[in-house]
Structure 1
Amino acid sequence: MFHKDKRMKLPLKTMYYLSFVFFIVIPILLVLIVVLIALNQQFKSQAIENIKRAQEAVIADLVSDEDIMSLRLSHMVYTNNNEILRYAAETDTNDYSVKNASEDRLSKVINLVLEPEKDIISVSFYMKDGKETYVLNEITRSQYEIKQTKWYRAALKSRNRVFVGYYDTKKTNDLYTGSKKDSLILVFALAPDVTTDRSQKIEMVLYYQSTRAAERIKNYNRDYLSGKNKLGITQITGDDKELIFSTLKEGNFPARKYTRIKSPVKFNNAVWYVESYIKTSELTSEYWNTAIWVLGAAVLILLLAGYYSRYFLRSIVRPIEEISGGLRQVEEGNLEIHISSKGQSEIRNMIHQFNAMVRRLKVLVDEYEAKIKSAEKTQEDYFAAVIKGEITPEELNKRSKEFFMEHYAILGIHVEHYNTKEREDDCALKLIKRFEGNPRFASRCILYKESASFFLAFYRITEEDYSMKIVNMAEELKRIGNHEFGVHIYICIGQKKFGFGEFDAQVKEIREKMCLRHLKGADSIIDLNQEGSKMNKLLFLAKDYEKLAAALYTADEKNLNEEKEKMFQSFNNAALEEVKMQAFAVILALGNRFSKDYSNFTDVFGQEYDYIEKIERIEDIKSIKLWLTNYFAWIMDYTASKLNIAKTDAILKAKRYISDHYEEADLSLTKIADYVGLNEKYFSNRFTKECGETFSSYLMELRIQKAKELLKTTSFKVYEIAEMVGYYNVEHFNRMFKKLNGISPAQYRKSV
């Protein structure tokens, strides 16, 4: 910087400030410039990332709609041997009485199949002779206009596949009576072939569904134009640059002023793009506010640092270093530390205070340790100890006479869906802290947190009319969990008890009956003081359906069909109320099976339902069977695709392969063993051990099950059915059928 001789002659103050400028100020300014450039890029990248996340939400809505509605359309077409297509074909007649009866039957069956979906606008059937049948709403667009669309023509070329189309409603009542302006209507089209529509009357089956993606885009655009977000103008275009959906009448976005962010949406038959146009200057608009604050703070820090540097060096820094060292020793547990007084007056006072604080802290620690050694356990400690089995209720009664002096009830609290980045245990502690803000809970309850998802509470009963008050408290706890923490809370209220004798039994009953939440829907309360006998019967019946639930959970079609047939046979001689109880028990067993592997039962449908209310609305046993059949089919598809069981277990993988290829006559043990990557002999022994039957027996029973369904529901000849289930030799098929059922296929068809 200067020659050594000259530097030595400079005053100390001048030398210090020169060193401060060259070695502190200039490097900080250089770093500041680099940081500001990096911040500029970071803000721009973050703005684009926010837009992409908003686009991903739109894409998630569209993809979810396609997945769900494609699956629903396929289910509707194929369920019960194409029953709905037969009903639709019967509406293609000039006899109005027959047509009206057929349309009523078709509407009733479709409404059952569509539950619980509420966004479907219309189900349409277009006949080859030009007639059309609508369920829900009648579409106002002409057949000619619809048949000229690309997706309609594409569906005609590839039959039995689902194709996606769209309509953007430009005005009210544009597509159907009651349609809103600026709504994006997704259309799902399937052209059945002769195997699905044996009448050959139906040309096309269409689902019209409103998508939440349109409402999301409208909210984005409205907030952007009003300055509430920085997401730009969002719209959807096709792969041929055709504008699919936009809320603006004119969309002129010159490249020199706007930045375009584009994300693809891939469907079976097309690729759409979610595009956002935002003014380029707005991508970094928030950066300048931050940059000014950063610059101002940097300048201020430099000024203060320069002004006070000498003072800090001589009179503050060195004494504070000694205080800091003393604090580190205190942190390590050394309370014998003492610092000599030095520095300015304030620093000397600080050192005196530090020494006094250490002496006082030592006294407090000694007093606390003495108190801990002599302190008794609290009521919360006793409750936790008896729940964990460390002491018995009788021992608790001896140690703390006041614990069981009053009547009490045990509450079970189950928590689901912590939507937070915090650890679940930390969030659970905050939730408990908030519960304690409820006056009734704080004054009457002792809580034990068994896990982040399950709490037990000991509720002291101090009044005669406690029932309604405890329910009101439970409702308030649910509200706290739902609105303040975004969690679902289920509460099981135990019966009124007194003394320690029934304590363990009450806790056990709470644990057993907490599973009834699977039937009651979101944020339910299970009051054991009401309908106790019905709850006990449901728990007992659910055990009979554990095998059926296991087959559904593992996507085991053969065992599912066996168990379902047994269940439906038991329905034949039962009253409607008994059948409903059996349906509740099946759902309860399935919910318990999901909980056993810590899987979320609500993920199957994306939300929770009150199954008791839903099934009670069904008026006959046949409709219950149809509802359960569709319910099982939905869960089978979910467990096979979402849980990916087939990818991790060789036997389950083999069963899924057999279910998908049973109609192949050359399906063999060797072929299946090769598919799952196991030695043939080892695979055969393992299959027999785990399934309780040989591979050939399992395959034969599955084929005969499929044959029985075809014999009951179709008019195919016996030799045709034999080929459909994998038997090219009809005599061999007849022998196997008779061996398993005691009668020939022809006799079986007559008997049913």
Structure 2
Amino acid sequence: MKHYKVFIADDTPLIREALIKSIPWERLGCIIAGEAEDGLKAKEMIDKIRPEILIADIRMPGLDGLALTEYSNRILPDSKVIIITGFQEFEYARRALQLNVKDFLLKPLNNDYVMRVVAETVQELRQQEKRAEYEKKLLQENADYQTKVRSSIRAIQGKILSDLFLGRGNSGEYSKEYLKEMGLAGVHIQVLGARVRSSDEQMSTAVWNQIIFYMYEYEKAKNVRVLEVRNVKDILFFVLDKEKKSSRSHKIYMKNQIIYMNRQLRNELLPEICACIGNVTNQLEKAVECGRQVMEVLEYNFFMTKEEILEVENYQLLKGKKSSYRIPDFDKLFLALEASDRENIRGEVQKLVEDIARGTGGNLFQIKCLLSELCITVLRHYNQKGKDEKITKLIDEIDNLVNLEAAGAYVNEFMDEIRKDLKQERVQYNPLVQDAIKYIQENYGKDISLTMVADFLAVNPSYLSRLLKQETGENFTDILMDIRIRRAKQLLHEPGVRITDITELVGYNNYEYFFQVFRKSEGISPSEYRRQIKQ
């Protein structure tokens, strides 16, 4: 059982000693925590000791018992004060009553009376603690009940919105009174849709968890209610606000929140989101329709845009219309491939990809289907070896593309591989050139030069240079760069290998130079290339 701390303040040593030694404190449920011979010292000590019971002489030097009682009441409102007084100090005692003193001990002190007063004080303290504990329990139970009620209301709100959005009911099924009771009537509703810029399921899940956390932070900060509705690729947030604000204010708050969330995701090295903001309404049915509009804008613009924030009002909705677009002829692309004209191939690829994006109205599914058709047609046209395995692989890879820029880069790389294979098939290189290329392929990670290759083959460097150009159409530097960049791209697919290590592994001593060479070859930096792979 708890023992209460007792502090004694009296300027008479004999009274302090008598109280300390003659009263069975432990039996009464107390311990002596300290003593003082004057009020000032007592004030300093009770501030540190914080006793539950203070026994003080009504008259002491420095600070009398009444002033000490006032101080104790201020810093220890739950403590009890017992005053030691004499008959001649009645006026002091009357003032003590106004300070809510527990009891008085008259001089000379009577041990039995002191024990009875202390026992009553201890009992009062115990009852006081029980009441406080009971009140705390009641408050906690009430808080738990309120949490359950809020949780239940949130679940009901979420189910109503989810059912309406997914077409499993209509708002007319619910009475106005019920919707008001559930907090879905008489409020302003803002809709936010979001999609992760990644095809990695595990990465997307991590992003969704973070986004939900950030939106619940927003809920607390703005005193609104945030409800989520999941779709296959997207998540919708319905933000309910009882406070009347302008549509502009709602949108500004939401834009700032999206910018904040993407900044936090970047800090966590997670993919960003593309978000779409819907119009504000105070009607549930219109809010659900707005949610569908938000999803439509995301579906038709996510793949084509680099923007992190889209707004429904800035886009023309297709209202269910389907594109009848068909991919155009590939004659110019075939001519460029057969001519092994890399720049021309890239130009044709860019035109085709942009034409597909425009012709489909940005529909993600149709874009990916047509890009797959483009690549498969090229594979079959040139009767590529192992084309069935390649077709399966490219369909998976195209399905994982997350934006138009990544699509263009992928198709360019695919066509470049076709170009090189075609060139290899058509040309039977001079045995010396074949040996030179083999040596480069085996030693690209070293600091090799034309002279080193020529020495290995026991030929003149100038002669080897002319022969390489004549047979391959490329000089030694271009051949070496091409082999190194192809290997670098393979290593960039391995997340455990740092870019600085890749620089050395493919034969470059200087990262800045490697960066320039890679960017010149691929149009993007090594880190951007890796980021596209992750996405």
* Shared fold per TM-score greater than 0.5: no
**TM-score bin, normalised by smaller chain:** 0.3 to 0.5
TM-score when scaled to structure 1? 0.25
TM-score when scaled to structure 2? 0.33
* Higher RCO structure, 1 or 2 (CA under 8 Å, sep 6+): 2
The structure with more radius of gyration: 2
